Amino acid sequence: MTISVRPSLITFWLRSQLTLTETMVNGSAPNTLFGIIPAGRNDISQPLNRISRVQVSTKFVTGALLLGAIFVAFAVSTGSAVWWVFAVVALVSSYRAELLITDSGGGTQEVSVSPLDREAVQGFASAVNQKLALT
């Protein structure tokens, strides 16, 4: 099973790849500077016999939400389209989803995904958990 998901709503042109084989979870996820500028990739390679848990979580990032509210206030007071763009980017990036792969030693690998791709990642996590239950 292979999925290709966006790391965030803002960086729709970048893709994270995740593959489940009979013995491994493999993949790669893009690294970014300031959440927008591509800056390399993070490789994921985890044998199934070392994985203890796979889960998907969603969260609001309060700092991005507050920053977005400040940008909205600037946009309303100045009427500038630039502040509206900053506001939309900050508000959209305040809601995040993550795939968390926990190994038997307690280490966790995180893969950030767009909330729009949450269902695909949830299906991937379920497939990994089913495979773990069979081993």
The domain that contains 119 carries what CATH number?
A: 2.30.29.30
Any domain includes 19: yes
Residue owning tokens 């309303």: 76
Name the CA dihedral angle for 32, 38, 39, 40, rounded to a multiple of 10 degrees: 100
Sign of CA dihedral 114, 43, 36, 66: positive
- Give the model confidence (pLDDT) of 77-88 as tens digits: 998 888 998 888
- Give the model confidence (pLDDT) of 33-58 as tens digits: 877 788 888 898 889 888 888 999 98
Q: CB of 56 within 8 A of CB of 100?
A: yes
| Residue 41 in tokens | 């990739």
Which residue segment(s) compose the domain that 22 sits in?
2-60+96-134
Q: What does the pLDDT read at residue 70?
A: 92
List the one residue out of 118, 134, 112 whose CA is nearest residue 27.
Answer: 112
User: Over the chain, what is the mean pLDDT?
Assistant: 87
- Predicted TM-score (pTM) of the model is 0.77
Any domain includes 26: yes
Any domain includes 87: no
Any domain includes 118: yes
Q: What does the pLDDT read at residue 72?
A: 92
Q: How many domains in the chain? A: 1
